[in-house]
Amino acid sequence: MKYKSLSKKFKDQNPREVFAHFPYNGQAGETWEKQFETLAHLAKAEDWNFKRPEFTSQYDRQSFPILTNYLNYTFLRLQDEEKIVYSEEKDKACFNTGLQTPRGKDIFATFFRNKQAEEKNQPDWIHYTFCDSYSEKLEPFHPLPEIANYITNVEDLVFKTEYTIEPNLDHFLKHNESRLPEALQGNLQMAENAINGSIQSLKGLIQRNYKIAIPHWYGNKIQLLLPLVLTNEEGIADLALVVDRDDKRKIYRGTTILSMDMAYLDARLITKPADEWLNP
């Protein structure tokens, strides 16, 4: 069975489409994020929430929105790659989270089978624990599961400065006007001028710092994210421009614009982005 998510994503989601239930003790004051909080403390220190007020307000009931999104889409990728490992009796499951402890040990998620899943219309698995590679809890799994892989061609990770950027402005302005800064909403001509002006400066920025172009994963392929500075004079990016490489035409085709939180969530699947500009 192919699952649509690792854990329950919304209230009315069919439990049978969900891989696992993540238990918590509400009477003891725990929330549904308890297991993810445990993972955050086990892993190398990282900010798993947004910093800017406009984004934290969107996730005001969550403390680890970046982590839960990361883990969900990591699971979906591992499912596609058939890298989820099961015990010999098929009553336990395990996958590599892709995260590491401060000592550099891989962290694994383990589960046990829910024997009443079909009868009670529940997920097939129940989360057991997160543990590092030293743990005895991994004994049922041989070999230990591998991390998700996104990179098949290292050229996908670096912006080719000899290529030009051709944005599909008509498409993504009409369909994503709500993502624009408020000052540009309702004035698409001004928005188009601002985006074109920002794009003209991008190549020079990337030539001076290749980390400006950030790889992200979407639609089962790697694309690059580029900063669009539209409304301020301090060089702070308002949006991320998503570009696809077209080697035949030697261009990068701008396909859409993303808000900074959306861009970070997609980019974090591959690696923790450098904070040159993508730091929502």
CA atoms of 156 and 49, how far apart (whole Å): 28
Buried b or exposed e, range 153-178, using 16+ CB within 10 angstroms: eeeebebeeebebebebeebbeeeee
Residue 234, pLDDT score: 76
The pair of three-digit structure tokens given for residue 228, joined into one six-digit string: 């669009």
**pTM, two decimal places:** 0.93
Residue type, 126: I
Residues with Cβ < 8 Å from 3, sequence gap 6 or more? 17, 18, 19, 75, 76, 79
| Rounded mean pLDDT, 17-40 | 94
Find, among 4, 73, 40, the residue nearest to 262 by Cα.
73
- Residue 16, pLDDT above cutoff 90: yes
Predicted confidence band of residue 168 (pLDDT cuts 50, 70, 90): confident
CA atoms of 71 and 60, how far apart (whole Å): 19
Residue whose structure tokens are 């550099």:
104
CA atoms of 70 and 79, how far apart (whole Å): 14
| Rounded mean pLDDT, 33-43 | 97
CA atoms of 269 and 280, how far apart (whole Å): 16
- Residue 239, pLDDT above cutoff 90: yes
The pair of three-digit structure tokens given for residue 260, joined into one six-digit string: 């900074």
- Residue 232, pLDDT above cutoff 80: no
Cβ–Cβ under 8 Å, residues 216 and 226 = no
Least confident of 57-61, 93-97, 136-140, 270-274: 57-61
- Residue 231, pLDDT above cutoff 90: no
Maximum separation of any 2 CA atoms in the chain, in Å: 63
CA atoms of 156 and 114, how far apart (whole Å): 41
Find, among 263, 185, 169, 183, the residue nearest to 231 by Cα.
183
CA atoms of 261 and 280, how far apart (whole Å): 6
Residue 172, pLDDT score: 80
Average pLDDT, the chain: 93
- Residue 53, pLDDT above cutoff 90: no
Between these two residues, 56 and 223, which has the higher pLDDT value?
223
Span 195-214, pLDDT tens digits = 999 999 998 999 999 999 99
Residue 60, pLDDT score: 77
Residue whose structure tokens are 């590491």:
100
Buried b or exposed e, range 195-205, using 16+ CB within 10 angstroms: beebbeebbeb
In this structure, the strands spanning 214-218 and 164-167 are: unpaired
154-268 has which fold? YaeB-like fold (3.30.2310)
Task: Provide the residue ranges of all domains of the chain, joining segments of one domain with +.
Answer: 15-138, 154-268
Coil, helix or strand at residue 107? strand
Q: What percent of the chain has pLDDT over 70?
A: 100
| Rounded mean pLDDT, 64-80 | 97
Coil, helix or strand at residue 173? helix
CA atoms of 173 and 180, how far apart (whole Å): 8
- Residue 280, pLDDT above cutoff 90: no
Residue 219, pLDDT score: 86
- Residue 233, pLDDT above cutoff 80: no
Least confident of 31-35, 118-122, 235-239: 235-239
Residue 54, pLDDT score: 82
Coil, helix or strand at residue 179? helix
CA atoms of 68 and 55, how far apart (whole Å): 16
